[in-house]
Each structure stands twice: as C-alpha cells, then as structure tokens.
Amino acid sequence: MCEAMRICGNPSSVHAEGRRARATVERARETVAAAVGAPAAAVTFTSGGTEANNLAIVGPGVERLLVSSIEHASVLEPARRSGKELTLLEVDARGVVDTEALDAELSSGRGSALVSVMLANNETGAIQPARKIAEIAHRHGALAHADAVQAVGKIKVDFADLGVDLMSLSAHKVGGPTGVGALVARNDLNLDPLAVGGGQEFRRRAGTENVVGIAGFAGAIEAATREREPFATRMAALRDRLERAVDAMRPGTHFFAKGAERLPNTTCVAFPGFGADLLLMTLDLEGVAVSSGSACSSGKVSPSHVLTAMGVDAETSRAALRVSFGWDSKDDDVDIFLGALRKALSRLDRRAAA
C-alpha cells in the first residue's frame, strides 16, 4: 500500500505514471483472483462487500430473487427494494439453508432467477451448502450468488469449485483495508452497473479505481489464504477451549449453530437472562471487544433476523453475544476473555439480586 501511495497516476491514463497505476491494479486483480480460484477477468473491484452484494443482486436483472433469510442486510435490502418477485429461503434450527425447499421453490416458479445464499453466516459462523445450492440453481436455469465475505481466509473458497456465478469479497475481513472489496462474476455474464459514467472495471463499475486499497486487498488476501490452514486449526482450538470453559462456568449456556459446520473463528453464545448489550458494555470496560447478535438501529435494539430465522425466541436472541478471534489471538486472550466474563456475569448477577 505504501508503494501504491507513491504512484500519482490514474490507472486509465496512458502516460507512464498511469501505466504504473494500471499495472498495480492488474497485478492485484490476478492475486485476488488466484486466491479464490477465479480468472482475473472475473474480478470487479468495488468499495467493499456491501457494494459487491448490491451489484450481484441488481446487476443480472433477473425476474425472481431467492434469498436466504439469514443474509447480510446488503443482500436483503437491495433484494427487497428491487421490486422483483422475492422468496426468502428458510433455514433449520442450526441456521443452515434448506436445499430441498429451494429445489421446490425453483420448480414451482417461472422466469429468470437468481439464488443468493452466503457461504458462511456473519453472526453464527454456520457454513452453507453453497456448491449444492449452485447445482440446484443451475438445474433450474437460475444463477447462483454466494456472499463469501466471512468465509475467505477461514475456510477454502474456490469460485470454480463452488460453481457459483457470482461471489462477493471484502478486504477488511481478511485483514486488509476498509472500503474495498470485489465482486467475482463469470465474465460472460451481463451485469448492469450500479455506478455509470466511466468504462472502468470491464464496464461493470464506473469510477477511478482505489489503487491503494486494491493493492492492500491483494496483499491481505494472499497472506490470509496462504496461512489459512494453520490459522483455522489454531482458531478452532481456541474457540473450542473457550466454549468448554464458558459451559463449565455457566452450565446451560446456549451456543448457536453448534450442530452445523462453522467457521473456526466465531462463536455465538447466549447467557439466558442477561441482555447482550449490558454484557457487551461490561466486557468493553474490561477491555474485551465483542458484538451483540442483535441489530441496533436508532437506539432500538431488535432481535437478530438471523436468530429469529433459526426459530430463536426474542429474549434469547437479545442475549446473544458474538465472540470472534483474529489472526493473532492466543490462549492468553481466551484467559483474559474468561476472566472478564466471570467478572461481568457476577456483577450483573449482583445487580439482578439487588
């Protein structure tokens, strides 16, 4: 990124500085493509996962959208606003999409269709059967999109092997800079751009490329995919240790999606009777950063749509905490978390008893 910052050219300019910028972008395109098993020409750089998802939903211009009920808002919202026929696909209690229901939905409908199911859920870490979903979609002549934002660097992600037509990526989920990502899309697919007024990115996304961000994205995804296996093994061991210790500390603690195949770095846990937001703030005071499973908008905390889709009641959903590990997390961090949690729970116990 530091090297890219020294280039003052615009990648679309023909002079030498412009060509240097172009070379940086094209090298990065090849690196990102290679990291996810796609041809370079399939990669369209975007401002992040949100834009990639919006383009994937709106760009193909299909008549019907079949979207899982646990998708990120950047898939659900454009699907709702598109005015197209929209079917929300159900998930089971583990948070995994029902592929038989998808098959039945596609059999009963008419018109061109796009199926969008994420590769791994951002709240529970539950991994979805993306390859099977793509097979079913193609059998019915539909397109398949997978939001792989959370999956890259944690599980194997291979565009060709998954057989999807479109796939979304985000740099900051693999340790890269914020505000950059990509839509990987079959090059023979016609995509209506969201941003127009320039021929950049194979006419799929107008606007001067974020050369520095793109260079950082390439560096990060290359490192994250190269180090993926040892990282995943280490994270899963830390996560399992944390879950066992939490269970011993508070028997009856609920771990969501535990019966499903999950990302190695995430656990979503509820301590019934303890609102997640209060627990989150108490842990924050102890220097531990976790997230609540619920979405907070204009001060009103509503239960997570993901947990609701899994059949979780509103009270348990409001108690859900998401704990994630990073590339450099260690056993010491688990100890710190457990110490802070013990303190936070007993403080809240005392409050409840008073």
Q: Which residues are catalytic?
A: 296
Work out whether the CA dihedral 295, 298, 299, 303 comes out positive or negative: negative
Residues 151-210 touching ligand PLP, rule: CB under 6 A, are 170, 172, 181
- Closest-by-Cβ residue to ligand PLP is 49
Nearer to ligand PLP, 82 or 253 (CB): 82
Q: Does 267 sit near ligand PLP (CB under 6 A)?
A: no
Q: Does 147 sit near ligand PLP (CB under 6 A)?
A: yes
Q: Does 268 sit near ligand PLP (CB under 6 A)?
A: no
How far is CA 176 from its chain centroid? Answer: 14
Q: Does 329 sit near ligand PLP (CB under 6 A)?
A: no
Q: Which stretch binds ligand PLP (CB under 6 A): 126-134, 145-153, 159-167, 206-214?
A: 145-153
Assigned token pair, 207: 């606007």
Q: Report which DSSP code applies to 339.
A: H
| Least distance from ligand PLP to the Cβ atom of residue 348, Å | 28
Buried b (16+ CB within 10 A) or exposed e, 57-87: bbbbebebbbbbbbbbebbbebbeebebeeb
| Least distance from ligand PLP to the Cβ atom of residue 59, Å | 16
Q: Does 149 sit near ligand PLP (CB under 6 A)?
A: yes
Residue reference for tokens 């999109």: 145
Q: Which stretch binds ligand PLP (CB under 6 A): 21-29, 45-53, 104-112, 296-304?
A: 45-53
Instruction: Name 166's Cβ contacts closer than 8 Å, sequence gap at least 6.
Output: 56, 59, 60, 143, 144, 145, 146, 183, 184, 185, 186, 189
Q: Does 50 sit near ligand PLP (CB under 6 A)?
A: yes
Positions of E strands within 157-278: 166-170, 181-185, 254-255, 266-270
The site for ligand PLP (CB under 6 A) is made up of: 48-50, 53, 72, 74, 118, 122, 147, 149-150, 170, 172, 181
